[in-house]
A and B are shown apart, each in its own frame.
Chain A
Amino acid sequence: DAGITQSPRHKVTETGTPVTLRCHQTENHRYMYWYRQDPGHGLRLIHYSYGVKDTDKGEVSDGYSVSRSKTEDFLLTLESATSSQTSVYFCAIKGSLHPNTGELFFGEGSRLTVL
């Protein structure tokens, strides 16, 4: 158990509304990630963080912003949600169980539907 909690787990919202997804971890991991999963695309990286206030864009960052004001929380914000952002969102942390491997551990996912 990597101690990752995502909230909310399910959300339905309307086009144009702001949405924030929260990822909380309890084990002081430095690296955190937000991915989205869509059929036919696998998981695609949205943004990632390599420390407090240190973030960078991933492959599909348009329409998303992130913030990390403390180690344990990584927030993903959709400023104005669109139907194309309907997806399952996964938060992940880089594990320290096997330092040479560096596998990612994922949260349970947040299903977002934008009507």
Chain B
Amino acid sequence: AQKITQTQPGMFVQEKEAVTLDCTYDTSDQSYGLFWYKQPSSGEMIFLIYQGSYDEQNATEGRYSLNFQKARKSANLVISASQLGDSAMYFCAMRGANAGGTSYGKLTFGQGTILTVHP
């Protein structure tokens, strides 16, 4: 079984500054994937970034980067140069593998972190 923990219920950041959203995970799988999603107040779920467990480089997508520390089982999201439109709920999620080596693509989500960007 997989478990995702997001320990920051809420975070505040000043516009144009960087912010790190924490995510730790627990799994016994050798192969897994880590995801971050954004949910604005409008409610839709937006995929941001992905990191594979065997990827040696940290994933980056524009202003988003994933700080992957495998030994610590952490997958923190870093948002650089925050914008007012970054205010949203952010979810960390994980895809593992069943005993048979398949996962059917299922994701396990953390509780989420609400990010507020101040002007």
Residues of A within 8 A of B (CB): 31, 33, 35, 40-45, 48, 50, 56, 58-59, 88, 90, 92, 94, 98, 100-106, 108-109
Query: How far apart sit A98 and B95, CA to CA, in the bound complex (Å)?
Result: 15
A–B complex contacts, Cβ < 8 Å, 16 sampled: A33-B106, A42-B6, A42-B109, A42-B110, A43-B107, A48-B105, A58-B106, A88-B43, A92-B45, A101-B33, A101-B50, A101-B52, A103-B35, A103-B47, A105-B47, A106-B45
Interface string of B48-81 (1 = CB under 8 A from A): 0010100000000000000000000000000000
Residues of B within 8 A of A (CB): 4, 6, 33, 35, 43-45, 47, 50, 52, 91, 93, 95, 104-112
The residues of B that contact A88 with a CB separation of less than 8 Å are 43
In whole Å, how far is A74's beta carbon from the nearest beta carbon of chain B? 13
Interface of A, helix, strand, loop or mixed by DSSP: strand
Best-buried of B4, B6, B95 by chain A (most CB within 10 Å): B95
Summed over the interface, the residue pairs from A and B with CB atoms below 8 Å come to a total of 55
The residues of B that contact A90 with a CB separation of less than 8 Å are 45
Chain A: CB-nearest residue to B51: A101
In whole Å, how far is B42's beta carbon from the nearest beta carbon of chain A? 9
Cross-chain contact B47 with A40 (CB below 8 angstroms): no
Cross-chain contact A48 with B104 (CB below 8 angstroms): yes
Query: How far apart sit A55 and B64, CA to CA, in the bound complex (Å)?
Result: 35
The residues of A that contact B47 with a CB separation of less than 8 Å are 103-105
8 A-B pairs with least C-beta separation: A106-B45, A42-B109, A94-B105, A43-B109, A101-B50, A103-B47, A42-B111, A31-B105
Contact flag A104-B109 (CB < 8 Å), given A42-B91, A90-B45, A98-B50: no
In whole Å, how far is B106's beta carbon from the nearest beta carbon of chain A? 6
Query: How far apart sit A105 and B46, CA to CA, in the bound complex (Å)?
Result: 8
Cross-chain contact A44 with B109 (CB below 8 angstroms): yes
In whole Å, how far is B110's beta carbon from the nearest beta carbon of chain A? 5
20 other contacts beyond A33-B106, A102-B95, A103-B35, with CB at 8 A cut-off?
A31-B105, A33-B105, A35-B109, A41-B111, A42-B4, A43-B93, A43-B109, A44-B109, A45-B107, A45-B108, A56-B104, A58-B106, A92-B45, A98-B50, A100-B52, A102-B33, A103-B47, A104-B105, A105-B47, A106-B44
